[in-house]
């Protein structure tokens, strides 16, 4: 058994023993979440400045701080300040700017959960170390083990170098080569149709696809995108769950819409409004169809989605791609749940380049 080396000091402990002033890079929901964690740990008073990227400074304030430029904050607080990055991006120029800042000041990219309030800190890692080790032991290849170890340690420390080291090659085409031709693709969290397009092109001769999106503005775009497939892709306006019926969700006009029926959903986010939505399950959507590939990216409802597809997964063993960044426990609870349904999956983990630790997913591939 190889050993998952988990560093035990977390970012919040480091900040507690550090005396340097803290500057937040970014405003909005991400900064709100990070401030809340700092306040919960008695560290709220450490924040001394807020800055934004050039071109986004303008004449505005955030949480009582004037939004400044990095250069202005640096001139005032000095190079000894600690920078906490508070937003998400995959744009190369943004990532390059963070790398530039980290070469000047101590810089961290805190991991705070998208859903729920459980922070992946040293206490959480210690409490669940055996479960984390077990998942690590089950990973199929060295790429997955390297990704998982770096990612777990990034979640603890917020270190940009560990986040970068968790990136993996883009080998989706190879993983999807295990999908049988003539089967269906089920896209859970289809947004505006971008992933429908990607995977319909990568999959080997799919019979068709079912694309599920609960947020009504995104669903309208999805409907338009699906028209180009001549009825081969069926759009469904619903929220995926572990049961069918009627539910509610918080709508944010895009990615990030969450179920209001899921415990902890929407905590710490700026809710726009609550709207009714139909609930569907994988089993209900795949009735009479043979799925070859299911993509899960459902904003924290992944566990419920898996439980609503037990019959389908057990019977057909489709390739699964399951996002695991929304909740702190996703990195062990989701694979545990899936492997209880079928123990004959080979398990991988892959992550694309972005900040913070998003765009990471487990892949479950049936043994042939």
Residue 354 belongs to domain with CATH number: 3.40.50.150
218 and 316 part of one domain:
yes
The pLDDT of residue 264 is 39
d(CA 75, CA 87) in angstroms, rounded, equals 23
The pLDDT of residue 7 is 79
What predicted TM-score, i.e. pTM, was given to this entire model?
0.92
Q: Domain for residue 326, yes or no?
A: yes
The pLDDT of residue 272 is 54
Q: Domain for residue 255, yes or no?
A: yes
Q: Domain for residue 4, yes or no?
A: no
The pLDDT of residue 4 is 86
105 and 177 part of one domain:
no
Domain end among 60, 81, 110: 110
The pLDDT of residue 269 is 37
323 and 197 part of one domain:
yes
Distance of alpha carbon 82 from the chain centroid: 25
Low-confidence ranges of the chain (pLDDT < 50): 1, 253-258, 260-271
Tally the C-alpha atoms within 13 A of residue 110's C-alpha that lie toward its C-beta. 30
206 and 322 part of one domain:
yes
d(CA 67, CA 190) in angstroms, rounded, equals 35
The pLDDT of residue 219 is 96
**Omega of the bond prior to 355 within 30 degrees of 0, cis?**
no
Q: Domain for residue 130, yes or no?
A: no
Number of domain units in the chain? 2
β-pairing, 61-62 vs 82-85, is: unpaired
Domain end among 92, 110, 128: 110
The pLDDT of residue 251 is 64
Domain end among 86, 110, 134: 110
Question: Which domain range does residue 104 map to?
Answer: 11-110
């Amino acid at each position: 058994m190889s050993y998952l080396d988990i560093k035990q000091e977390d970012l919040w402990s480091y900040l507690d023993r550090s005396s340097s002033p803290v500057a937040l890079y970014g405003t909005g929901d991400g900064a709100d979440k990070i401030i809340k964690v700092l306040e919960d740990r008695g560290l709220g008073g450490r924040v001394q400045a807020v800055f934004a990227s050039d071109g986004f400074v303008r004449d505005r304030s955030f949480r009582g701080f004037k939004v400044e430029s990095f250069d202005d904050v640096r001139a005032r607080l000095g190079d000894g300040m600690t920078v906490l990055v508070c937003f998400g991006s995959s744009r190369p120029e943004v990532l390059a700017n963070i790398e530039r800042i980290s070469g000047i000041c101590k810089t961290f990219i805190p991991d705070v959960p998208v859903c729920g309030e459980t922070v992946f800190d040293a206490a959480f890692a210690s409490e669940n170390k055996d479960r984390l080790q077990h998942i690590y032991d089950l990973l199929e290849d060295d790429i997955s083990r390297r990704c998982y170890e770096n990612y777990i340690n990034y979640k603890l420390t917020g270190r940009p170098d560990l986040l970068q080291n968790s990136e993996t090659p883009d080998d989706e085409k190879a993983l999807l080569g295990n999908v049988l031709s003539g089967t269906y693709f089920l896209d859970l969290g289809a947004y505006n149709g971008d992933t429908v397009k990607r995977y319909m092109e990568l999959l080997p001769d799919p019979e068709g696809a079912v694309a599920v999106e609960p947020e009504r503005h995104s669903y309208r775009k999805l409907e338009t995108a699906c028209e180009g497939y001549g009825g081969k892709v069926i759009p469904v306006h619903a929220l995926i769950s572990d049961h069918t019926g009627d539910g509610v969700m918080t709508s944010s006009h895009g990615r990030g819409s969450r179920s209001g029926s899921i415990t902890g959903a929407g905590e710490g986010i700026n809710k726009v409004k609550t709207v009714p939505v139909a609930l569907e399950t994988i089993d209900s959507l795949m009735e009479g169809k043979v799925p070859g590939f299911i993509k899960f990216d459902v904003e924290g409802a992944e566990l419920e989605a898996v439980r609503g597809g037990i019959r389908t997964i057990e019977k057909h063993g489709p390739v699964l791609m399951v996002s695991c960044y929304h909740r702190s426990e996703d990195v062990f609870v989701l694979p545990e749940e899936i492997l209880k349904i079928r123990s004959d999956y080979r398990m991988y983990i892959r992550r694309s380049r972005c900040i913070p630790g998003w765009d990471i997913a487990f892949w479950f591939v049936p043994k042939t």
